[in-house]
A and B are shown apart, each in its own frame.
Chain A
């Protein structure tokens, strides 16, 4: 008597969302099964892997990341180097330097960087803000304008600034709008609804539902994603059917396990290996929980995670 499993295929599916243009464009979502449940139904669009660079200067990066970009003097150099790395399917530019409590670079200066990067690489682009909601409203709106025609993802509109970011990215320039909430299904849903009420097409929204590093409150990330996928697929909740994109790198490269030097923690061994494994294990957990795309920073993590995805789909 062979093993018989009931199919877990749903009648509803996750929205299909394309980022970028031309040959290199990527498509997220479209599946009508839980993450990697290919035994229930084929998954057409495997989750995608992106690499993150920032304008914030190399000094703030861990040593091992600096090493990967040796010889690069500008953000554009870094973008070209990153785009050529194995397994990279999209490029994420974090405009860290915009932070008013940090370098406080002007919007003009940053938008110029966005334009230069866009001219230098043909990969799909994700532009992340500096995490200050007022500055991001301006920054991301201007970036949306500068990237007209590139079908880029602006990450992200939050509850505090969704009107500005949503209007520019979603309405005026028809880019893909990122919707960022704080690890809670109701907040994620609410922001999608607000964006839709503003007139942004639900089909051009990607959610960043918030994330954490492995070991740092990650259980909330798991349950939030589990519940979002359940609502989207089994209850056909159209306000939660947006693909999920998770910026893993900006979380993991801050925690002690990834950054403490070997001199500080001799028994822990080389910092680079710890950082890579923290990034890999967090990303793998995000993917099996429901992320349709992950943003990573170390080239070795990108290689392993894209291999993992290939083997699972």
Chain B
């Protein structure tokens, strides 16, 4: 939250000595408030005043780091409630849950399924970044530690779901270097858990039965000096989980309530145990509404494909369209004699279309137009993907000199361009391709 000039003036030395280059302390304070000069330009601000100011200007929501090396993730640090105000900065991360209450076969099956989902979508790797390892009091600490070791083998960030300080200590002894999260500080055990987390140097997850208890528990841990925490959305009902996720984020950002300003964990595996479709729905809800980590019972392709796509959309910068360079992209060893297809320079469109072309195995040239980084129909509606713009682009890029084949496939959604293109690009055979890229494989194979 930005400090007002008047607030800074109240803390200023009020000497009006001009050493800072400003005529008065008041003028200086105003400039500091605007970010025009640094507070350090005045030699006389007291340390206490500076400390008070840095506290007041600290971001409303803490940035917390978990994991190490390639598996290090930043959580939180958000400054707004809605993405059109400013880009959301820390993506929601997904965890799959295992438990020491499961038998070995179940555990092995769960762990084996985790790496199965791993793919690229527009230059972003999509996979399960975390594993939630739940401790059950009904199983021994040894079994829990073995499970933690096994899970650690997958090189994901571990979240130790454990409310027993002794078991937590034993588990941390085998994994603390990978900077896991210790998730289990309740109002009953928070002092002991705080000591365990502090000793291992890991982030502590805080739990409360309801928002009041959660808030008090965070405050109590802050009093013990801990600022390295995650908060758990309540798990008694979907409604209260939603209330924690939204209300804490709102209180931190709107009301500068710093005790609420920690990233969150939402355990949808608990909220909708055994109901995979409901978990998919909730994962979507809590990606949209402020979950920093979402824990699920499983993450297969069915859940993942829409979820990761949604996350990628939500966390893009509203100011920057995702574009690719216009030009000729040979695919499957395409050369000057290979068939041409054309589309727009919107990164998503390129990604989808080139993926299907690769899958077809047919050598071809994908010609990407300069269409302002918009999708096919959007750019067509905006006049940026028209017969004139395509013909002009082909001329500018001297495509006819580079490619001998004169067959050009256009996206089915702009089939209306066929006639005009034939008129503007003599010599070319204009072929209307299917509407959806997914139909390209069959289309190209049938054509051969």
Residues of A within 8 A of B243 (CB): 38-39
B residues 201-235 touching A (CB-CB < 8 Å): 211-212, 214-216, 219
A303→B275 CA distance, assembly (Å): 12
A6→B216 CA distance, assembly (Å): 17
Interface centre among A257, A282, A283, A287 (most CB of B within 10 A): A257
Does A1 belong to the interface (CB within 8 Å)?
yes
Contact (Cβ within 8 A) B82 A223: yes
Contact (Cβ within 8 A) A6 B284: no
C-beta contact mask, B101-139 vs A, less than 8 Å → 1, else 0? 000000000000000100001000000000000000000
Contact (Cβ within 8 A) B280 A37: no
Does A171 belong to the interface (CB within 8 Å)?
no
- Interface residue from B211, B289, B309, B316 paired with A214 (Cβ < 8 Å): B309
**Contacts known (A1-B219, A256-B436, A312-B239); A219 close to B281, Cβ less than 8 A:** no
Does B149 belong to the interface (CB within 8 Å)?
no
Contact (Cβ within 8 A) B441 A308: no
A36→B251 CA distance, assembly (Å): 17
A residues 239-262 touching B (CB-CB < 8 Å): 254-257, 259-260
Please tell me the size bucket of the interface on A.
Answer: 35 or more
Residues of B within 8 A of A274 (CB): 301-302, 305
Contact (Cβ within 8 A) A260 B438: yes
Contact (Cβ within 8 A) B247 A281: no
Contact (Cβ within 8 A) A281 B310: yes
Does A59 belong to the interface (CB within 8 Å)?
no
A273→B300 CA distance, assembly (Å): 10
Nearest-Cβ distance from residue B106 to partner chain A, whole angstroms: 19
Does B15 belong to the interface (CB within 8 Å)?
no
**Contacts known (A285-B310, A305-B281, A307-B278); A268 close to B305, Cβ less than 8 A:** yes
Does A10 belong to the interface (CB within 8 Å)?
no
Nearest-Cβ distance from residue B379 to partner chain A, whole angstroms: 12
Contact (Cβ within 8 A) A311 B300: no
Residue of A nearest to B210 (CB): A3
Residue of B nearest to A257 (CB): B305
Q: Is the contact region of chain B dominated by helix, strand, or loop, or is it mixed?
A: helix
C-beta contact mask, A29-67 vs B, less than 8 Å → 1, else 0? 000000011110000000000000000000000000000
A215→B307 CA distance, assembly (Å): 8
**Contacts known (A277-B280, A281-B284); A213 close to B306, Cβ less than 8 A:** yes
- Interface residue from A215, A230, A277, A308 paired with B302 (Cβ < 8 Å): A277
Contact (Cβ within 8 A) B288 A215: no
Nearest-Cβ distance from residue A152 to partner chain B, whole angstroms: 28
Residue of A nearest to B436 (CB): A254
Contact (Cβ within 8 A) B309 A215: yes
A305→B281 CA distance, assembly (Å): 7
Contact (Cβ within 8 A) A300 B277: yes
Contact (Cβ within 8 A) A222 B214: no
Does B402 belong to the interface (CB within 8 Å)?
no
B residues 283-334 touching A (CB-CB < 8 Å): 283-285, 287-289, 300-303, 305-310, 312-314, 316, 318
Nearest-Cβ distance from residue B187 to partner chain A, whole angstroms: 13
Contact (Cβ within 8 A) B215 A311: no
Contact (Cβ within 8 A) B281 A281: yes
Besides A5-B211, A277-B303, 11 more A-B contacts (Cβ < 8 Å) are: A39-B247, A215-B348, A256-B352, A257-B306, A277-B302, A287-B285, A288-B288, A308-B281, A308-B285, A311-B237, A312-B285
- B residues adjacent to A (C-beta < 8 A): 82-84, 116, 121, 211-212, 214-216, 219, 237-239, 242-243, 246-247, 250-251, 254-255, 260, 275, 277-278, 280-285, 287-289, 300-303, 305-310, 312-314, 316, 318, 348, 352, 356, 375, 381, 436-438, 441
Listed A/B pairs (10) with beta-carbon separation below 8 Å: A2-B215, A5-B255, A8-B250, A215-B121, A216-B348, A218-B313, A219-B314, A274-B301, A284-B288, A288-B284
